[in-house]
Structure 1
């Protein structure tokens, strides 16, 4: 199944959502910067870069519900959402970034990447997806 995801499903869904989304409407997306009880963060390892768990908000879906759903789908863990950290706009859409706390679950990746717990001090050196490159300002405010 992982091979199928990497070769077929992932690229097809990724390409389709980018092309159709940019043509017809700017999508609304959510992402979660979620910390565990061990001063580490649950992020997605997408091989060439890291990204925050999250994704597209479904029509009529509440932003917080979407953030929890996407987090669960991409990591296998539940999340207790905290404050809204930021709203960003770009040519690819409107992006809502939430703070969160990792709850119970079991690692279960998706075509977006493999869930990985990363210590705060190691987050600085990671290459990030451009939409998530501002994550450092919340982790290292000084």
Structure 2
């Protein structure tokens, strides 16, 4: 009986998960990072490891990538992403990193093996630097941040209102 249950559990689908932080400055520009291993910009964050919560993952990733020790704010966006670029579907979480003041921004220390730079970007600049899916997700996260809600997306598009 126990082996049947173990086999059943082992056969359940697995989902990729990622978590990112939406930091803004006093001008409401979003912080983007430029990975060394991709041809486009991203939000700070990354893969949720086995046994790790999305919230713990984003705090860990921000510490590793930017050298910042922060407490994340509320969940802004959950985005289900279908298979495409990756062979399996995934669930992405964006959290409110809050407003970084000039002193906090000056304290950013990039993980040079992974990131070549960072920049504050207004809405148009962010859309220009990000791939379409991530641009839609960031636009939705910024709107959720301003409205005080949490949004559910599918492939970057709002499905519920």
TM-score normalised over the length of structure 2: 0.58
Distance (Å, rounded) in 2 between the aligned partners of 1:59 and 1:77 = 23
Distance 1:125 1:64, change over 3 A: closer
| 1:97 aligned partner | 94
| 2:8 aligned partner | none
- How many residue pairs were aligned? 118
Q: Which runs of 4+ in 1 moved over 6 A?
A: none
Higher-helix-fraction structure: 1
1:1-142 to 2 correspondence within 5 Å? 25-37=14-26, 39-46=28-35, 48-90=39-81, 91=83, 92-101=89-98, 102=100, 104=104, 105-120=107-122, 123-134=125-136, 135-139=138-142
- Structure 2: unaligned runs, 5 residues or longer: 1-12, 84-88, 145-161
Distance (Å, rounded) in 1 between the aligned partners of 2:132 and 2:115 = 15
Q: Which string of whole-angstrom CA distances, capped at 9 and with x for unpartnered residues, describes residues 53-107 of structure 1?
A: 1111122222211111111111222333112111111224111111112474332
SS of match in other structure, 2:135: helix
TM-score normalised over the length of structure 1: 0.65
Higher Cα Rg: structure 1 or 2?
2
